[in-house]
Amino acid sequence: MDTVSTAKCFGGTQGTYRIDSAATGTAMRFAVFVPPGEGPFPVLWFLAGLTCTEDNFTQKAGAQRIAAELGLILVAPDTSPRGEGVANDEAYDMGQGAGFYLDATQAPWAQHFRMYSHIVDELLGVIGANFPADMSRQGISGHSMGGHGALTLALRNPDRFRSVSAFAPIVAPNQVPWGINALGKYLGEDRAAWRRHDAVALIEDGARVSELLVDQGDADPWLIDQLKPELLVDACAAAAVPLTLRWQPGYEHGYFFVQSFIEDHLRWHAARLV
C-alpha cells in the first residue's frame, strides 16, 4: 500500500492511498479517514456514484467531523479501474467512473472491471491489515450508483456488513436505463445474471438484511426514470425487510443533499456497530 497524501482532520487523519490491485489488474486509489484515538474502530464504507472518484465523498460530504466524534473509520473506494489500457466509453454512465460495483464478464470490460472482487475480496483485507479497524463491525452506505452498490454488497454479504444505508440509490437496475445499459454491456444478455446486481431482485430471490435506511429527495431529476424507490418499498414490504425511506422535500440528487443528511446516517450506523 502506497500513501498518496495525508492531512490532519478533526484530530484524526484523512488519507488517500493506492494499491496494485490483483482484482482489477490496475493501480486503485481509495480514501480512509481514521478518527483520533487508538482503536480498533468500526468501519463505514461509502460508495460513490457515476463519474465520481474516492475524493467526492471525502471532500464534499462533510462526514469527518461526526466520524471523529463517533469513532468511525470511513473508507471511500474509487468507482472503477482507470488508466491507459483500461476500456472506456464516451458516455458518462459506462466505463471509467462507472464500475457499478460488479465483476464484468463481457469483453472489453472483463479484463479490468472487477469492482465487486476489488472491494469485497481485496480491499477489506487491505483495510484490516493497515488501519486500526475492527473488521467485525462494518457498515456500508453509498450514493446513487454507490447506493446501488451498498445495497447489493450488503444483501450479498450480510455476514460482513452489519448495517446498510443509501442516498438516492438505483434500487432496480434491471428496470431502468442506467442499469439496463450497464448490466447489458458488463454482463451480457442473460438477464438472470443481472439479478445478483439488483437490490430489488436480490430481495425477491431471498437475500436479506436486518434493516435499511434510505434518503431520497423529492426534487431529484432522476427520481422517476432511474431511481424508482417505490420498487424497493414494495420488495421490502413483501419480504418483511424493515425499510425506513425518508422523503426529503425540495432536495435534489447531488452532494448538497448528501451533506445535509450524512450526520443522520453516520449516527444510525454507529448505533448499530457498537
Q: Is 117 a catalytic residue?
A: no
SS3 of residue 66 by DSSP = helix
- Distance in angstroms (rounded) separating the CA atoms of residues 14 and 136: 22
Q: Is 5 a catalytic residue?
A: no
How many C-beta neighbours within 10 Å does residue 247 have?
11
Kindly name the residue from 144, 163, 215, 269 that is annotated as catalytic. 144
Read off the C-alpha cell for 250: 425540495
The residue among 33, 38, 36, 39 whose CA lies nearest residue 16 is 33
Kindly name the residue from 143, 253, 265, 269 that is annotated as catalytic. 253
The residue among 113, 53, 127 whose CA lies nearest residue 85 is 113
Q: What strands lie across the sheet with 27-34, from one edge to the other?
A: 2-9, 12-20, 27-34, 73-77, 41-47, 133-142, 163-167, 212-217, 243-248
The residue among 100, 78, 118, 83 whose CA lies nearest residue 187 is 100
- Distance in angstroms (rounded) separating the CA atoms of residues 147 and 145: 5
Read off the C-alpha cell for 81: 479501474
Kindly name the residue from 143, 148, 220, 265 that is annotated as catalytic. 220
Q: What is the DSSP secondary structure assignment for residue 143, as one 8-state letter?
A: B
Q: Is 144 a catalytic residue?
A: yes
What residues are labeled active site?
144, 220, 253
